[in-house]
Every structure is written in C-alpha cells, then in structure tokens.
C-alpha cells in the first residue's frame, strides 16, 4: 500500500494531454506576441517620426556595426531622399 500512495504523490498534477495542450498554446501565443512586441520594442518610433528633410515616414531596420553586433537604425522611406 505504501507503494500506491507514493505513486499517487509522484503523479503529475495535470495529464499529459493537458500539458501538451498548454505547451502548444504557449508556443502559439509566444510566437504571435514576439512578432508584434519585437517590432514595438525595437522600433518604437517607426511610423511615428518623419524625415526631417522630405517629411516622409521613417522606417526602422537593423544594421551590422563595426563590432560585429547589430544596431537599430531609422531610414527615410523616400528613395529619392538622400537623407
């Protein structure tokens, strides 16, 4: 009887199916959230600021720095603008 009681204690609180369902939900939610929040956090000014030269909206992107790392930068979306 001691074995049965200890086995009950060791059993997980949720079933394997529930665990998998939660994992899938977390995976899907995490993916959707990261796609949105990454843009917002990395380029908070994208779509909000305008080019000082031509007035067009400014986009955001990543550029590789001299040190090998990447840094965020903003660029004018007007191709004819030399800024």
Give the residues lining the site for Zn ion (CB under 5 A): 51, 53-54, 76, 78, 81, 83
Identity of the residue, 51 or 72, whose beta carbon is nearer to Zn ion in the bound complex: 51
Q: How far is the CB of 52 from Zn ion (least distance, A)?
A: 8
Asked if 74 and 56 count as a contact pair (C-beta separation under 8 A), the reply is: no
By beta-carbon proximity to Zn ion, the closer residue of 36 and 79 is 79
Closer CB to Zn ion, 49 or 51, in the complex:
51
Write down the residue that tokens 């000082």 correspond to: 52
Ranges of beta strands (E only) in the chain are 58-64, 70-76
Dmax over CA atoms of the chain, in Å, equals: 82
């Amino acid at each position: 009887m001691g074995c049965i009681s200890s086995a009950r204690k060791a059993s997980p609180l949720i079933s394997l199916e529930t665990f998998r369902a939660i994992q899938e939900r977390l995976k899907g939610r995490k993916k959707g959230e990261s796609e949105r929040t990454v843009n917002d956090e990395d380029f908070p000014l994208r779509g909000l600021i305008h080019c000082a030269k031509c007035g067009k909206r400014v986009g955001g992107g990543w550029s590789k720095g001299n040190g090998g790392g990447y840094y965020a930068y903003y660029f004018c979306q007007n191709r004819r603008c030399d800024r």
